[in-house]
Amino acid sequence: MSIRSRLPAANADATSTGAPAGQFPSVRMRRNRKAPWARELVAEHRLSARDLIWPMFVIAGKDKRVPVASMPGVERLSVDLIVEAAKEAVALGIPAVALFPFTDPAKRSDDAREAFNADNLVCRATRAIKAAGLDIGIILDVALDPYTSHGHDGLLVGDEIVNDETNAALVKQALVQAEAGADVLAPSDMMDGRIAAIRSALEAGGFQNTQIMSYAAKYASAFYGPFRDAVGSAGFLKGDKRTYQMDPGNTDEALREVALDLSEGADMVMVKPGLPYLDVVRRVSETFKVPTFAYQVSGEYAMLAAAFEKGWLDEEKTMIESLLAFRRAGASGVLTYFAPKAARLLKAQH
């Protein structure tokens, strides 16, 4: 079918210009683009600070900030500075932060026992933000990779990441995080059945209102490298994660993963990575009509930040365009390291 045959049928009567109605010059698409106010009126998708989630990295110490070399502009922050950053997020209108720990290598172990420590970094940071009385959501990752001596998201037995034993460990981790005051638990491990196990434990433990944002479609991606630097896992990882994270070539499988997680009690779902997987974001959001989030991951951030430093791309325009792409694809919100910069810029524009 030609493009012309898909257009609305032209009126049989010609316009005063002699052209059929529905064609140039009767239709001039640029009329709606002629001025900022006109473009604002007809905008199909919008981006605001309320669409952003700010991922932060927590480190031990006080008044301490350590730059992440592979993520220009991103720092690991001690708990006291995490609280200050959360205050900034509130002032900027950012509704939630996601906390990830940089675990002392001496505290990593094969059984990831630091994940179950009620006084670990993310639990301390969560309690500190809550004690500050801040009206902001706190999202905690449920996965073992920041705590294992082998860098995997699950427990390793021989050469296998074991599923059911890992689920039992994830339940322990989730309960510790819920007790610390986390508003949203975000299982990112990709074990089968972990959403049902965590939801059941939350219900039994009196945490019926704790939300689950499932990393339902998490791909075995090459874009995670800088994140692993940020949490200190890069040097520990043995092998790869392809037996539990998804094949980048699959999209039907993503729909099945999302369907399973929703049936098991997930309140929201996530696609990760982001920009290279906008087709998956679109399919998930259109198929399930549930809150669907995407993560603009560390590798995406690092590529753009490097181009900004080189002067190859306009930082402000490219940053906003990249984030708007998520909204256009159907994302309810975006986890992005650009969150504070983008929020400040959006606030200044309006």
Separation between Cα atoms, residue 301 and residue 318, nearest integer Å: 11
Active site residue 272: yes
Residue 216 lies in a domain: yes
Residue 41 lies in a domain: no
Q: Which member of 64, 107, 130, 272 is catalytic?
A: 272
pTM for this entry: 0.92
Instruction: Spell out the alpha helix ranges (H) of 147-241.
Output: 163-180, 194-204, 225-231
Of 286, 298, 268, the C-alpha closest to 328 is: 286
Residue pair 288/258 in contact by the 8 Å Cβ criterion: yes
Residue 162 lies in a domain: yes
Query: What's the CATH code of the domain at 342?
Result: 3.20.20.70
Q: For residue 165, what are the domain limits?
A: 47-349
Number of other residues whose CB lies within 10 A of the CB of residue 53 = 24
Residue 24 lies in a domain: no
Query: How many structural domains comprise the chain?
Result: 1
Residue 25 lies in a domain: no
pLDDT at 261: 98
Residue 2 lies in a domain: no
- Binned at pLDDT 50, 70 and 90, residue 10 comes out as very low
216-233 pLDDT, tens digit per residue, is 999 999 999 999 889 988
pLDDT at 177: 98
Active site residue 218: yes
61-114 pLDDT, tens digit per residue, is 999 999 999 999 999 999 999 999 999 999 999 999 999 999 999 999 999 999
Residue 22 lies in a domain: no
Backbone φ and ψ of 9, nearest 5°: -60, 135
153-167 pLDDT, tens digit per residue, is 999 999 999 999 999
Residue 19 lies in a domain: no
The DSSP code for 170 is H
Q: Which member of 218, 310, 341, 347 is catalytic?
A: 218
Residue pair 216/257 in contact by the 8 Å Cβ criterion: yes
